[in-house]
Amino acid sequence: MKKTFLLLSMLFISMPLAAQNSSLADLNKRVDEISAPVMDIEARYWAGRVQSGSITIEEIEKNSKNWLGSESAKNKEISKIKKYLKSGKPVSVTEQERQRMDESTRKIRELMKNNENAAEKRLKEVDAIKSEVRDIKARELALGIKAGKYTVKNLREESKNWTGTAKGNKELVDLAVKYSKSKKKVSISEAEWDKLDENNRKVHTFLNNGKETDGDKALLKRNKKIRKVQEEVFELDARYWANRVAVVKNVTMEDLSKSSLNWVGERSYNQKLINRISENIKTGNTAALTDKEMKKLDKANEKVRNILKK
């Protein structure tokens, strides 16, 4: 029951997004009407998941861009989730409420089933867009497997609900698994991270009838602010971590590389930082930060945290 709800709520924009003889806006309106009665239940469900540590609010916000329904409805649900989390009180859903979520899920599935023909054409168009970064995406997934973010089994299960055709998604996972098993180092360059993120926005825009989504606009704006702050202390940050790895030895380069997959901000910047840390270790640029430098770095990190709170 819970897994069924997870797949339907996070969706990975896999289900049909255009009804026969109706616009995407019309379909979103119909989804909103079905989802509205259980929105508060869903909000408590996700807040409970965050409280249990099985997912973060940042991951939910990222995935919400791909939920079915209107932007306003998705934003409203995110606000409800945050409100429950801010209260600090434990939240959960009852068995009866789970049944109501399942019924909502069934209705949405039924709605989507009636649009399969139009959807198949749309998903093939999505495949064409995603093919531009297919190899990069496979390497991203391979890094996730190596980092323990998910298992191959889970990835194959989730891929059934990704955007695109079943054939295209299976081929992507097969390539990712191949990379994850390879003895060769799997990596993604700074430029490739940017290309991958741009392609994700391209898919979102296509599915939003050619209009950039509010979520993507907000994320781009936020990440630009974060990068501006981070760039000012880039060298200090790189030296700080190089010292931790090479001198203090309380973290490894492998640990940093894995955790960087979940760092906030632009992924290309995060890769740039990882590269510089590695370079510093090789060149011996691992001196501990002075008190003054540490204060400057702490201040920058505080600015980033404040940006994330907004």
DSSP 26-65: HHHHHHHHHHGGGHHHHHHHHHHHHHHTSS-HHHHHHHHT
pLDDT of residue 65: 81
Least confident of 2-11, 81-90, 162-171, 222-231: 2-11
List the structure tokens of 113.
């089933």
**Are 270 and 197 contacting, i.e. CB atoms less than 8 angstroms apart?**
no
So what's the pLDDT on residue 115?
62
Cβ atoms of residues 168 and 125 within 8 Å: no
Percent above pLDDT 70 for the chain:
91
Q: Flag the least confident range among 1-10, 139-148, 180-189.
A: 1-10
**Single-letter code of the amino acid located at 44:** R
Mean pLDDT of 6-22: 34
User: What pLDDT sits at residue 119?
Assistant: 67
Please, which pLDDT band fits residue 123 given cuts at 50, 70 and 90? confident
pLDDT at residue 15 greater than cutoff 50: no
What percent of the residues of the chain are helix, what percent strand, and what percent coil, each to the nearest 5?
75, 0, 25
Determine the pLDDT at residue 185: 93
If you average pLDDT over residues 124-142, what whole number do you get? 96
Count the alpha carbons within 13 Å of 32 in the hemisphere toward its beta carbon.
15
Is residue 238 predicted with pLDDT exceeding 60? yes
Residues 166, 170, 175: CA angle, nearest 5 degrees? 155
On whether the pTM is more than 0.75, the answer is no
Query: 136 versus 161: which is more confidently predicted?
Result: 136
Closest CA to 213 of 72, 99, 310: 72
- Return the top range by mean pLDDT from 4-13, 16-25, 94-103, 112-121: 94-103
Query: Who's near 98: CB < 8 A, 6+ residues apart?
Result: 1, 2, 5
CA-CA distance, 196 to 200, in Å (whole number)?
A: 6
CB 229, CB 265: distance < 8 Å: no
Per-residue pLDDT tens over the stretch 156-215: 998 988 888 999 999 999 999 999 999 999 999 999 999 999 999 999 999 888 999 999
Q: CB atoms < 10 A from the CB of 308, how many?
A: 13
Q: How many CA atoms lie within 13 A of 167 on its CB side?
A: 5
DSSP letter at 69?
Answer: S
User: In sequence order, what are the residues at sequence separation of 6 or more whose Cβ sits closer than 8 angstroms to the Cβ of residue 194?
Assistant: 266, 267, 268
Query: Does 242 score more than 50 pLDDT?
Result: yes
Residue 1 has pLDDT above 80, yes or no: no
In this structure, what token pair is assigned to residue 16? 């049909």
- Over 50: is that where the pLDDT of 8 sits? no
pLDDT over 90 at 110, yes or no = no
Q: In this predicted structure, what is the pLDDT of residue 17?
A: 35
What is the spatial distance between Cα 238 and Cα 247, in angstroms, rounded to a whole number?
Answer: 14
Residue-level pLDDT at 171: 96
Q: Which of 163, 173, 210, 1 is nearest to 67 (CA)?
A: 163
- CA angle 65/12/66 to nearest 5° reads 15
Do residues 231 and 278 touch, judged by C-beta distance below 8 A? Answer: no
Give residue-wise pLDDT tens across range 22-71.
Answer: 457 778 888 899 999 999 999 999 999 999 998 999 999 888 888 888 89
> What angle do helix axes 2-10 and 95-113 make, rounded to 10 degrees?
50
